[in-house]
Amino acid sequence: MDGDLNTIHTEGGTIVARDGTPLRPAARQPRTVRWFLIVGLLLVLVLGLLYGYNAFREHMTASFFASNKPPPAQITAVKAVTEAVPHFATAIGSLAAVHQVTVTPEVGGRVTALNFTAGTHVNAGDALVQLNDAPDRGDLANYQAQSRLAAVSLRRAQLMAQHQFGTVESVDQTQSQFDQANAQIAKTQAIIAQKLIRAPFSGQLGVRQIDLGQYVQPGAPIVSLTDLRQLYVNFTLPSTQRADISVGQKVNVTLDAFPGRSFEAQISTIDPQVRADSRTMTVQATLPNPDETLLPGMFVNAAVVLPEEPDRVVLPETAVDYTLYGDSVFVIREDGKDASGKPILTAHRVPVKTGMRWNGNVAIRDGVTAGTMVAAAGQVKLQDGSAVAVTDSAPPKPPTKPTMN
């Protein structure tokens, strides 16, 4: 009906009355705000639960580790002691034989007999090689016959001269012939002796360098002969140590070929000249070698024994941690007591200055005092402040090869 004002219709999605007046929808703002509040409260609740869970987890984790500390590291410890420290002047040298020669002939000839076995021991004067001396023995027989004839002629001439039947000149001529024959005999005997080559001294033979029937020239090598019962130790020291070195001092000799063994020598010669290029002096020591264990040419570590240094703090060499940043040790200290009254021991790294090292020991010049407890084994498990437990195990043994620096 035309008079019905409640009739409505839509225009372009907008609700309007019949007279064209737009109608507004009912307000929804309170309901939207309520939903936002609910969602916000839910987010706050979820975030609070997450935060609380993380805080609870961290608290429980800290409580777990606080109540489950790792056990103390098991170590071996020693007390630092003071003792006299040996003092050495060290050097690297070599061994040389006191008596060593290559046996050679003085004259040439063909080898007719080899009277030795390579590598065996011979005595002074033992025959080694015989060269052909048959022609010389023939000459010797000839000269001996001439000597006998000259001796008979000389007696006859002297007898005739005594009875005025001969002249003094004939006696002199006969005497000269007799002397010449004897001189030829002596010369030939010397040549025959040269062709029987003998050992000049007692020693051990080396490798044979000739064969039977071979013709050898004068000076040709036959075999080496070495007396191993006594050797020289030749080494050099800085000339600045001349005041500390003297003849008769003891020298400790060690070799890589015989680890763990030490040999004792004695300085016998100090070269009076200093090398201009290196400013070093040559020192020679005499080393007894009764069992003939050592051989000439071996490299050795020589340590001249000097007067001992005053008492210093000494630790096992295994107690020191050697690094590029310096040397250090782990000092064991008491940090309170536990619930049962037992002391709590902790390890603390302390830098030190080291000195002489010998026979598995090391002198400490600074950083540790006598009586300090120091870790001697097990440091690989330690950090500064680590809890430790000292075992009753003995300290590590010195290395097989002693060090002397």
Model confidence pLDDT, tens digit, residues 244-296: 999 999 999 999 999 888 999 999 999 999 999 999 999 999 999 999 999 99
Judged by average pLDDT, the poorest of 69-78, 196-205, 291-300 is 69-78
CB 63 within 8 A of CB 382: no
Side-chain-facing half-sphere of 405: CA atoms under 13 Å: 10
Tokens of 168: 């003094």
- Alpha helices (H) along 305-356: none
CB 382 within 8 A of CB 75: yes
The fold adopted by the segment(s) 73-84+310-390 is 2.40.420
Provide mean pLDDT across the span 1-29: 53
Q: Please report, as a single letter, which amino acid is at residue 400.
A: T
Q: What percent of the chain has pLDDT over 70?
A: 87
- Alpha helices (H) along 25-133: 29-67
SS3 assignment, position 130: strand
**Could you tell me which residues come within 8 angstroms of residue 121 by beta carbon, excluding any fewer than 6 positions away?**
202, 203, 204, 205
Rounded CA separation 195/137 (Å): 11
Q: How is residue 217 annotated by DSSP?
A: -
**Could you tell me which residues come within 8 angstroms of residue 62 by beta carbon, excluding any fewer than 6 positions away?**
none
CB 137 within 8 A of CB 190: no
Model confidence pLDDT, tens digit, residues 40-69: 888 888 888 888 888 888 877 777 666 556
Q: What angle do CA 81, 86, 91 make, to 5 degrees?
A: 140
Model confidence pLDDT, tens digit, residues 114-151: 999 999 999 999 999 999 999 999 999 999 999 999 89
Q: How far apart are the first and last CA of the chain?
A: 127
Given a cut of 60, whether residue 18 has pLDDT beyond it is: no
Phi/psi at 14 (nearest 5 deg)?
A: -100, 135
Burial readout 21-57 (b: 16 or more C-beta within 10 A, e: otherwise): eeeeeeeeeeeeeeeeeeeeeeeeeeeeeeeeeeeee
Does the 89-96+226-308 domain belong in CATH 2.40.30.170? yes
Q: What percent of the chain has pLDDT over 90?
A: 47
SS3 assignment, position 171: helix
Given a cut of 50, whether residue 404 has pLDDT beyond it is: no
Cα 360 to Cα 54, 184, 212, 307, 318: the distances in Å are 55, 71, 56, 20, 8
Rounded CA separation 316/334 (Å): 22
Rounded CA separation 379/327 (Å): 13
Rounded CA separation 314/359 (Å): 12
pLDDT-based confidence at residue 35 (cuts at 50, 70, 90): confident
pLDDT at 29: 64
Model confidence pLDDT, tens digit, residues 201-228: 999 999 999 999 999 999 999 999 999 9
pLDDT at 74: 83
The mean of the pLDDT values for the chain is 85
Q: Please report, as a single letter, which amino acid is at residue 142.
A: N
pLDDT at 400: 53
Provide mean pLDDT across the span 89-94: 93
pLDDT at 23: 52
Rounded CA separation 234/257 (Å): 18
